Amino acid sequence: MQEGVATIETALSAAAESGADMLVLPEAFLPGYTAVPRERPEAWDEIHDDIANLCRRHNVGLTIGLPEYAEDRLFNTALALAQDGRRLASYRKIQLFGPDEHALYTSGNAYVTFEFKGKRFGLLICYDAEFPEHVRNLAKLGAEVILVPTANMMPFVNVNKILIPARAAENAVTIVYANCCGASAGLEYVGLSAIHGPDGYPLGAKGTGEGLLIAELPNGWSEHGIPLSSQRDDLKHV
């Protein structure tokens, strides 16, 4: 677990050096998508405190996938923190994927939006973003940018290349899709993290390896005739 916290600090430091406002990390980044225990780990509260302290130290917001132990149940959760470590929002994954997730987690039942840097953001997790109704409902709630920690694995490359750009374009929202890469416990992750603007075109995209992806949301209208952000926000993810 501490190794994961050290990785978060390295990523936040790199994001800070680039002037980022928000870093987005993948689904269940701590302790790892295939390593989530059913029982609450010891010192779990301290881990949360450590992450908040890192945001304050580097003055960068963070959205990260974590397990949430609450109400005698386990939820697959995305947590958004401000630069001062303050909790902005948390979202419980609604659309659980496959038998393993259904056996481990309880589904969430509510959408979440929050204000950050003068814009309204929404949260989804991985499989959620493949369903038009989830992105549409966030757009109806006023979300301009949707942050999506994810752990999409092979062979579902079509999600990255087709579905996520389509969800952005059909709702005129920006989608930050932060995916795992590499392999773990028999799963090969797709990688291909990307930030798609409200016309569906990528504002930035990564290959299959690790790295920091940077995108600046432009002002006014895109060359494709779709209205874009009226203010600048730097969004980065690994």
Phi, psi for 218 (deg, rounded to 5): -75, 165
The rounded distance, in Å, linking the Cα atoms of 104 and 50 is 26
Of these residues, 55, 68, 93, 180, which one is catalytic? Answer: 93
Of these residues, 55, 126, 180, 181, which one is catalytic? Answer: 126
The rounded distance, in Å, linking the Cα atoms of 33 and 184 is 9
Q: Which residues of 124-144 are buried (b: 16+ CB within 10 A; e: fewer)?
A: bbbbbbbeeebbebbbeeebb
Does the annotation count 236 as an active-site position? no
Does the annotation count 144 as an active-site position? no
Q: Fill in the DSSP letter of residue 200.
A: S
The rounded distance, in Å, linking the Cα atoms of 65 and 126 is 10
Q: Does the CA dihedral 202-204-207-213 come out positive or negative?
A: negative
For residue 70, CA distances in Å to 17, 108, 213 come to: 36, 12, 33
Q: Cis before residue 198, ω within 30 degrees of 0?
A: no
Does the annotation count 180 as an active-site position? no
Of these residues, 27, 68, 101, 144, which one is catalytic? Answer: 27
Active-site residue set: 27, 93, 126
